[in-house]
Every structure is written in structure tokens, then in C-alpha cells.
Amino acid sequence: MTMLFEPWKQFQHSAVRQLAFSIASPNILSNIPPELSLQHVFDLHPNGFWQQQYENYHPRLLELDQNPQPLIDFLAQLKSTRLGLRFEYLMWFWLQDDMYHHFKLIGHSIQIIQKKQTLGELDFLLFNTQTQQVEHWEVALKYYLAEANLSLPHWYGLNRTDTLQRKLNHFTQKQFQFETVQDHSIQKRFAVLKGQLYLPTIPKNILDNDYLALNIPTWVNQARNIGYWGHHIPQPNYYRLQRQEWICHDATLSSPPAYWWSNGLYKSTEKEQFYMFRQASFICLNVEQL
């Protein structure tokens, strides 16, 4: 098995680990699925881009691990508990530390309003000092569970109306529609799509890390940890991750090994294996299961 680049595990403070993950982790997709119909073209940063950003930022992360108060204070501005917004704030914190990268932040959360109608909102507008180009970034933290033949229409969020295909369509049809913002001509568009993907499991194989000989699409980024999901309770011991640990788990176990299971994300106590447990629908249960 190829060693994964997961440097965030060296840090102790939970918020710093989450920040390191937000920067260093590759996108969940390695490329745009060819079956996606592109209306407005956008790109994904390659894995090496994120590894380089982490290496540049490593000294700052070490400082924050010793004194995380600047990061804590910045995140305290966020009143929502939504993980996607927390991820956006982590990216915002990093982008403002521009002595560690080659981007100048032009604007964040820019609303595009025309005749009192809101047409859309840009997450980040940046000036790339290396290429001398203006870039539009949309950032998202997503967790998708694969079903059926693993093709693009069959990756579902915890809310089944939130599918990977729908998110990608939203990128290309709506979020990347703008060519000029605040008198800046946009030359590059990037989706920063992080989080985790989950494959359906076979109980006896959950610790094998062999992805069950499934025909995984080429656009799934296998340079990162891919989890499993299912309705059964796996062995050996797993513990339930707290909500913010979905971004990056704490350095120490945040709960005892699970005895009572409910819907949520679990991690093995023995290895870096993640499991999304979902209770089967009651209509699928038979008498023997009750």
C-alpha cells in the first residue's frame, strides 16, 4: 500500500490539525469526471500543489501548535457549526498569511448583485503573484458515499439530495459563471473540493484496505485516504468522531470505543481507517435483524 501524505497528524492542537489538513490534503477528485458537461470551465489543483503549500506553511503551523490563540480567535468569529463554513474559515486564515504563499487576497465572500437581485457569491478572489493572473476559488468540504456501480450519479451526501454530480454541476453552471468581478478580469477558476469519499464495504474485508476490487472511477483521487460505509457494525473497536473531527481527528481518542452505534463517522482505534455508519432503513430489516 502506498504511503499517504498526511502531515497534519504531527500536530497536537485540534484546530491546528484541521488547518493543516485543510491545506495539505489533496482534492477528493484527481480530475474533472469526463461525463460532466462543462458550461463554465474550471480546474482542480494537482496533489503536488497542496503538498507544496503545506511545506511553505509548515513553520507557521509549528508556531500555531505552540500558540494557537490567533487561530482560535479567528475561528471564534464563526457563529455557525456548519463544517463547510469552518473549512472556508480555515482556508481564509491561511490565505491571509500571504508571506507563506504567492497569493494576494482580493476579496472573500463577494456577492454579485444586479438590479437588487443576487446572482451569486464568490468564495475567494485572488491574485497569483507568480502567474500575474486573477483567480476565482470556490471551496467546499464534502462527504460522499458511493453506491451502485460507483459512476458519477451514484455518489450521495448524508442528505441524499446533495450528490457529487449536483455539486459539480453547480460549480460549472452557476458558481463559475462570472468573468469580471470588482473590475478584475478572472483568468483562472479552481474548485477546492476536500473532505472524504466512502466506498461500500464487505464486513470481513474492512481492515484489508484493498477497496474490495471495485471498479473505482479514474477521477477518484486515490492519493488520499478513502473510507468505507455500511449498515453493519465492524470489528475491531471503532470510536465515534466528534463533529469537528470530521475535518481532522484529534491527536487523542475523543470518545471511548463505541458500544452503542448511531449514524456518524467512526475511526478504528488500531489504524487510520474511517467508517461511516448508516442505519439501514426499517423497511429493509427482516425479522432476524430485529
Q: Which three cell numbers stand for residue 132?
A: 500575474
For the segment 16-31, what is each residue's pLDDT rounded down to a tens digit? 999 999 999 999 999 9
pLDDT at 286: 38
pLDDT at 278: 94
d(CA 79, CA 230): 32
User: How do the domains of the chain map onto residue ranges?
Assistant: 7-289
pLDDT averages per 10-residue partition of the chain, 290 residues: 87 98 98 97 98 98 98 96 97 97 97 83 97 98 96 95 97 96 96 97 53 79 94 90 97 94 95 93 41
Rg of the chain over all Cα atoms, to the nearest angstrom? 20
Which is nearest to 278 in space by CA: 260, 265, 259? 265
Beta-strand pair 180-181/184-185:
antiparallel
pLDDT at 170: 97
Q: Which three cell numbers stand for residue 239?
A: 470510536
Which is nearest to 87 in space by CA: 145, 144, 21? 21
Neighbouring CB atoms inside 10 A of 8's CB total 22
Largest separation between any pair of C-alpha atoms in the chain: 66
pLDDT at 174: 96
pLDDT at 119: 84
pLDDT at 202: 58
pLDDT at 106: 97
pTM of the model: 0.92
